[in-house]
Amino acid sequence: MRIGNYRFDQGLAMEIGEKLFLAAVILLVTWALAKAAKWAFAKLVDNVSFFKRNTGSDASLGEALGKIVSLLIWLFGLLAILQVLGLGTVAAPVDTLLKNVVEFIPRIVAAGLIFFIGLMVARIVRDLIITALGTVNFDSWANRGGVDDVTGNSTISKTIATIVYVVIVLLVSIAALEALNIRTISEPASGMLRMIFAAIPNILAAAILLGIGYLISKFVAQMLSEILPGLGVDRALSGSGIMAEGTSASNIIARVVQVAIVLFFAIAATRLLGFPELTVILDEILELGGRVVFGAIIIAAGFMIANVLARIISNDDGETTPAVIVKWVTIVLFVFMGINFMGIGGMIPTNILTILIAGVAVAGALAFGLGGREWAGRKLEEMDSAARGSAPVNKGPLPPGA
């Protein structure tokens, strides 16, 4: 059939018409499927209480996911239309991308199901633990044992349930990442989660050890606060002048012992955690604390010895000048000994003590040499007069011509 100079190919026209008709049918079916899938998916997701939340665009999560499914259906439908129209080369890159996405969708679905089911299991286990511990009144028994004093938490059952919940979520997260089978993502993330999961027992053991250490230190401090006053420690230290009146030395000693016990358990806890740097720091603190404590004991002993010597020298005549001098010389000597034992300042305390002793000696020499010059002259004259007066005198007659 010819139309002017052009020949009309009826077969080609029929072929193009069939393609256009198929494209129109595919377009209509795609539209219907997209609308139905969007509505059904939105209703299905919104009926689950866990997914009832809004997105950033003020739309529900079901509506957002339904829109994504609808757009995917439209994308597949348009690719089918291009294939029907013989334009497959144009859609080849998009087709390849969609094939990869379709192959990956089962992994995403599997990972999502694993994580969702694991999350539900974790919540059920958490609620079960809270209910079971609440039934046996676990919080009350734990608070009687002093757990609330250690942690400051009166509902320890919820804390235990939360820890179990986190452990289950970590395990489920590892399984979900492995289901994705993306090595560049799953291997580092799974390795990090495994490391965290492996550290949980050590963290729990360290926390329990610290709690036990605190309870022991509190018990020991309470015992010392009750025993030391009964032994007369407060009265002895107050009488020696080391502690002021009204100050309880027993409480101070008890607190120092409590801090030392807590530090000891903290070092053990850091060793459980595997933090050598933190362990070294706490070791240094404990060593320095021991030196400071023993240095303070030396200084306290010096005060006691100084008071005893002052009383012996004064002999109940009040604070005489020699007694005061001996007292403060003894105190200064023991203070420098204590500071030197503490290791504070290196050689500075020793040098200061040497300079102080030398200064006192020089000052005494100058005072005697300058201020005592007249006294020394008088003493020398008395000695000379005594020597002359004690010379032998001849009481016989004088010789002739005398």
Listing DSSP states for 205-259 in one string gives HHHHHHHHHHHHHHHHHHHHHHHHHHTTHHHHHHHTTSS-TT--HHHHHHHHHHH
pLDDT number for residue 278: 73
pLDDT number for residue 146: 61
pLDDT number for residue 402: 44
Distance CA 181, CA 295 (A): 63
Distance of CA 331 to the CA centre of its chain: 41
The reported pTM is 0.49
Distance CA 41, CA 357 (A): 94
Whole-number CA gyration radius for the chain: 48
Residues 6+ apart with CB under 8 A from 272: 202, 205, 206, 209
Q: Is 254 exposed, middle or buried (0-12, 13-18, 19+ CB in 10 A)?
A: buried
Tokens representing residue 119 in the block: 């999350």
Q: Is 62 exposed, middle or buried (0-12, 13-18, 19+ CB in 10 A)?
A: buried
Tokens representing residue 320 in the block: 């005489």
* The pairing of beta strand 6-7 with beta strand 2-3: antiparallel
Residue whose entry in the numeric block shows the structure tokens 């079971």: 132
Q: Are 65 and 53 in contact (CB under 8 A)?
A: no
Distance CA 363, CA 372 (A): 13
Distance CA 119, CA 10 (A): 64
Q: Is the dihedral of CA 309, 315, 319, 320 positive or negative?
A: negative
pLDDT number for residue 369: 62
Q: Is 47 helix (H, G, I), strand (E, B) or coil?
A: coil
pLDDT number for residue 129: 87
Q: How far is CA 27 from CA 24, 86, 339, 395, in A?
A: 5, 16, 93, 164
- The single-letter DSSP state of residue 152 is S
Distance CA 361, CA 333 (A): 15
Distance of CA 10 to the CA centre of its chain: 85
Distance of CA 302 to the CA centre of its chain: 39
Q: Mean pLDDT in runs of 10 for the chain (402 residues)?
A: 58 74 86 86 71 60 77 81 74 72 79 88 90 80 64 72 86 82 73 76 83 85 83 70 67 83 84 77 78 80 78 69 77 80 66 70 62 64 70 51 46
Q: How many residues does the structure list for the chain? A: 402
